[in-house]
Amino acid sequence: MIPGTPNDRFVAIAESLKPTLNTTKSSPIGLIKCVADEKAILGWTAEDAGKSEEVKSLRDGDEIIFDFGTHRAGFFEFDIDAVLTGVEPADAPVRLKIIFGEVLNDVAESFDDYKAWISKSWLPDEIINIDYLPALKYRMRRRHAFRYIKIQVISTSLRFGVKFSNPTAYAVSSAPVEDPAPLSFTNAGDWLSEDEKTKLRKIDEVSLRTLRNCMHTVYEDGPRRDMRLWIGDLRLQALCSYATFKDYSLAKRCMYLFAGLPFNDEGLLCACVYEKPVPKFGGNSIVDYAMLFAVTLLDYVKASGDIECGKELFPIAAKQFSFFAKNFTQDLRYTIPERNMSDGGEGWHFVDCESVLRDTLFSIRLTLNLVGQLTLDKESSEHAIMIYCLKATQELAELLNLDAPAFILPDSTSSVPVTTIIEKLTNAHRQHYFDANRGVFVSGQDKQVSWAANAWAVLAGVPESKEAAAKAMQVTYEMEGAIMGMTPYLHHYLCEALVAVGLDKLAVKHIIDYWGSMVDAGAETFWEGWDPKQPRSSPYGDLHSNS
């Protein structure tokens, strides 16, 4: 696979927008020990183990766990000195294993039986040797995401133990240091109980921390693992930032990185970008992510008023549908081609993480029982996403006073205006995917019902009335056997669709139930994949690989 030729000017614009990171410093609130607890959602609870400044001499096999109170993405620093058993000096290096924990499981459980298919090198543990003691302000070089830090003393010598002091966490983020005001229910939410309002405020607090810890020199999809920029994550992170931190330049930087580092010379967008050591091609392209670039650009222009950026990047956004029009049949049903190793990272359909392992990831076939669901059929969702993104392209053209694009569909021999394509695809979606008997949208030969298919149909404006849209969402949400969602990414679009059809109370209830269950499980930031019924499930095959 040969990557597309970089647009050096676009990359230079992106680099000129690289933000300065703010740093905040904190000390641990104390020491803990992890205790197995069958009643705890993830199986562990923390017990107080004293004050961090009271740590005595540690020798081979000893360990301590610092609790820094909240989650951050950043660096760890400490002082360490020898505690001698005689008059002789420390005669050997000290070897330490340091484990960074986002949740208690990270510091309570061994990584030895790690089963995920993604690299074990992402696990948040390091072994270091310190040759000379005392070592003051010893700073770990790698950035980690953590609340807890466990230090295990692997080896000293017979002549000395070690004592730690001044453990310090440095959090880094491009977000402003101060958080926005706490969530307020003034003139709203009268139907909520005080307990529900309290839970929503906690969810909002964790949401802000999640966003802050993902805001670095790009919007990272996860500060613990991957640390990469993806279009789908960017869109939702930027929307959150517009409403809270009011940061527009980071989104602009990210969009210019995508525009400057295409998947191929025809202009297909990469799904992700590697930022370090220098920005470079991401190696894969996701169909729905490429289409969502237009929506991301529209969001940005509307929030920031940056018409110049919108006009410069519009041709790239408007071109993406031309790569996928071939996936429609003559009767305008969307098809998802089989992928193989020769795809070189092209043609990945995402929608939700539940079926990534089974359908899409470079022909890997794994037989993991993820969240107890059948594999999500994505045909109907992708069809609706095409409509949704084409509508955004049309709106963006109108906002920028530019000509809307035209494309050739399999049922035509010449270019068709985007307005006509939207109408044709909407009619086709109703014909192929709407089950009038049940009032829901279905997908595939088995007429699978899923949250994804119905949420995207609603957001695309496919239902013939708001009443029909509300019925589709209500019936799907309550239907036994409907395919739900694994990721907060999809749950966002579910809630957005519920609000769009007037089911605001159900949307808020779902937020309390779904995101609130992560809070109940001990989440200091929200996780990339979460099933409340199977809290140890992972899209990668091992809980410890989750970010």
| Reported confidence tier of residue 411, pLDDT bands at 50, 70, 90 | confident
Decide which of 373 and 270 is more confident: 270
Q: Kindly state the average pLDDT of the residues 256-271.
A: 97
Helix-helix angle 194-214:504-520, to 10 degrees = 70
360 pLDDT more than 60: no
Q: What is the pLDDT of residue 168?
A: 98
Is 248 found in the same domain as 133? no
Return the higher-pLDDT residue of 495 and 374: 495
Position 155 pLDDT exceeds 80: yes
- Residue 201 forms part of a structural domain: yes
CA terminus-to-terminus distance, the chain: 29
Same domain, yes or no: 201 and 156: no
- What local confidence, expressed as pLDDT, does residue 367 receive? 32
- 188 in helix, strand or coil? coil
Asked whether the predicted pLDDT for residue 234 surpasses 70, the reply is: yes
Query: What contacts 47, CB < 8 A, 6 or more positions away?
Result: 32, 33, 34, 35
The reply to whether 286 falls in a domain is: yes
Residue 243 half-sphere exposure toward CB, CA atoms < 13 A: 13
The whole-angstrom separation of Cα 165 and Cα 154 is 18
244 and 117 together in one domain: no
CA dihedral 420, 422, 428, 430 (to 10 degrees): -130
Q: Is the pLDDT of residue 365 over 50?
A: no
What are the residues facing 145 on neighbouring strands? 73
Residues of the chain with pLDDT > 70: what percent? 95
The Cα-based distances of 463 to 118, 151, 297, 471 in angstroms read 40, 57, 26, 10
pTM of the model: 0.94
Domain edge (last residue) among 116, 140, 173? 173
Q: What is residue 262's predicted lDDT score, i.e. its pLDDT? A: 97
Which residues is 286 bridged to in the sheet? 348
Are 458 and 325 in a shared domain?
Answer: yes
Q: Is the pLDDT of residue 356 over 60?
A: no
In a domain, 225, yes or no: yes
Q: Are residues 426 and 332 in the same domain?
A: yes
| pLDDT higher than threshold 80 for residue 377 | yes
Q: Per-residue pLDDT tens for 41-87?
A: 999 999 999 999 988 899 999 999 999 999 999 999 999 999 999 98
> Mean pLDDT over residues 371-389, rounded?
86
Q: Does the pLDDT value for residue 101 go beyond 90?
A: yes
In a domain, residue 461? The reply is: yes
What is the 8-class DSSP label of residue 203?
A: H
User: 226: helix, coil or strand?
Assistant: coil
* 243 and 162 together in one domain: no
Query: Looking at the DSSP assignment, which residues form a beta bridge with residue 58?
Result: 162
What is residue 364's predicted lDDT score, i.e. its pLDDT? Answer: 33
Q: Indicate whether 492 belongs to any domain.
A: yes
Model confidence at 152: pLDDT above 70: yes
State yes or no: pLDDT of 359 exceeds 70: no
Residue 171's pLDDT band, with cuts at 50, 70 and 90, is: very high
| pLDDT (mean) for 286-312 | 98
Q: What is the CATH number of the domain that holds 122?
A: 2.60.120.260
* One domain for residues 150 and 294: no
Q: What is the mean pLDDT of residues 101-118?
A: 95
d(CA 184, CA 196): 13
Mean pLDDT of the chain: 93
Report the CATH number at residue 499.
1.50.10.10
Give the pLDDT score at 520. 96
For the segment 258-280, the average pLDDT, to the nearest whole number, is 96
Same domain (yes/no): 165, 280: no
Classify residue 5: in a domain, yes or no. no
In a shared domain, residues 138 and 232: no
Residue 123 has pLDDT above 80, yes or no: yes
Distance of alpha carbon 272 from alpha carbon 229, whole angstroms: 5
Assess if residue 13 is contained within a domain: no
- CB 146, CB 100: distance < 8 Å: yes
Structural domain boundaries enclosing 330: 194-545
Q: Residue 186: what pLDDT?
A: 79
Q: Over 50: is that where the pLDDT of 368 sits?
A: no
Verify that 80 and 226 share a domain, yes or no.
no
- Least confident residue range of 33-47, 95-109, 330-344, 395-409: 330-344
> Does residue 145 fall inside a structural domain?
yes
What is the pLDDT, as a whole number, of residue 346?
81
Distance CA 6, CA 269 (A): 11
Tell whether the model's pLDDT for residue 373 goes beyond 80: no
- State residue 347's pLDDT score: 84
Same domain assignment for residues 304 and 401: yes
358 has pLDDT over 50: no
Distance CA 74, CA 173 (A): 8
pLDDT digits (tens, 9 = 90+) for 451-489: 999 999 999 999 999 999 999 999 999 999 999 999 999
Whether residue 156 sits in one domain with residue 218: no
Q: What share of the chain is helix, strand, coil (3-state, %, to 5)?
A: 40, 20, 40
Average pLDDT over residues 389-395: 98
pLDDT tens digits, residue range 314-325?
999 999 999 999
Q: What is the predicted pLDDT for the residue at 190?
A: 86
Task: Answer whether residue 242 shows pLDDT above 90.
Answer: yes
| 318: nearest Cα among 395, 404, 387 | 404
Please tell me the predicted confidence (pLDDT) of residue 79: 97
pLDDT at 369 over 70: no
What per-residue string of b and e applies to 16-38 under the rule 16 or more CB within 10 Å gives b?
A: ebbbeeeeeeeebebbbebeeee
Query: Among 447, 509, 432, 496, which residue's Cα sits nearest to residue 469?
Result: 496
Which range is least confidently modeled, 35-44, 51-60, 180-189, 381-390? Answer: 180-189
pLDDT at 363 over 80: no
Number of domains in the chain: 2
Q: C-alpha angle 64/23/239, rounded to 5°?
A: 110
